[in-house]
Amino acid sequence: MPGFRSGQARNVVLHDCREDRVLFVSSETFGRTNKNMNTLKNSTTTLLSTGRSTRSKSITLFVTALVFAMLVGSVAAHAQTATLVVTPLNAGRFYGDPNPDFTGTITGLKSGDNITAVYTTVANPGSAVGDYSIVATLVDPDNKLSGYNVVINTGTLSVTPAPLSIVADDTSRPAGQPNPTFTGTITGIKNGDAISATQDSQATVGSAAGTYDIVPTLTDASGRISNYAVTISNGTLTVTP
């Protein structure tokens, strides 16, 4: 109704254009719309004659007033309910690492209400690189949540590629001799992933004295290499005269 605000009591007149009566509802009625609905039946209501017809429509007018009173009461009650907003904070970690301790914020909490939140995700150390939702679960031991309009947001856990380093060891041999067994190191494998490396060189028994690259080649038996940021460092084979 134009000009009516929640919490502002006014006298209201409802008028049925087809009949001879209007329903007058006192301000006391609407001042109690969030109480028991029997208040409406017992409040001050007056059928005022319009001088047009003699047919009574008191039931219709009463139902109309009741619905309107319930609507106003609902709006007033909603306006008085506090809004509680829960927001998990975003987080990040490398693939293969444990999840960090998730945190978040709760705003709108009334003084003395013991409401907290627990933040979790489905991601675990074996989860592939990608984004995962961080969800909040409210803990309300004193059953206070009914007094709030609750808004729960979602945070994001970003799992990024873990660093993986492959380094071929330097070595040497005399000219005319076969290549030695090349070695190297791999650092950063997570979750026991079956990733290994072999090393080789283009140098042969007939290669002249000089230096040659020793190049690692990855073997990814577990199919997990996409979860790593790989750096490869060649070694050096020195062929002496």
Q: Which domains does the chain have, with CATH numbers?
A: 12-80 (no CATH), 83-160 (2.60.40.10), 163-240 (2.60.40.10)
Write down the mean pLDDT value for the chain.
81
The predicted structure's pLDDT at residue 1: 47
pTM beyond cutoff 0.85: no
pLDDT score at 228: 98
Least confident range from 56-70, 94-108, 114-128: namely: 56-70
Which is higher by pLDDT, 199 or 3?
A: 199
For the stretch 151-192, pLDDT in tens is 999 999 999 999 999 999 999 999 999 999 999 999 999 999
Of the listed ranges 4-8, 88-92, 174-178, 215-219, the one predicted with least confidence: 4-8
Per the model's pLDDT, the better-predicted residue between 26 and 222 turns out to be: 222
1-53 confidence digits (pLDDT tens)? 444 444 444 444 444 444 444 444 444 444 444 444 444 444 444 444 445 54
pLDDT above 70 coverage of the chain, percent: 67
Phi, psi (rounded to 5 degrees) for 189: -65, 135
Band (pLDDT 50/70/90 cuts) for residue 215 is: very high
Instruction: For Cα atoms 119, 121, 126, give the angle at the middle one, nearest 5 degrees.
Output: 140
**Side chain identity, residue 25:** V
Contacts of residues 219-223 at CB distance under 8 Å and 24 or more positions apart, as own/partner, are 219/195, 220/194, 220/195, 221/194, 221/195, 221/196, 222/193, 222/194, 222/195
Of 5 and 216, more confident: 216
Q: What is the pLDDT of residue 81?
A: 87
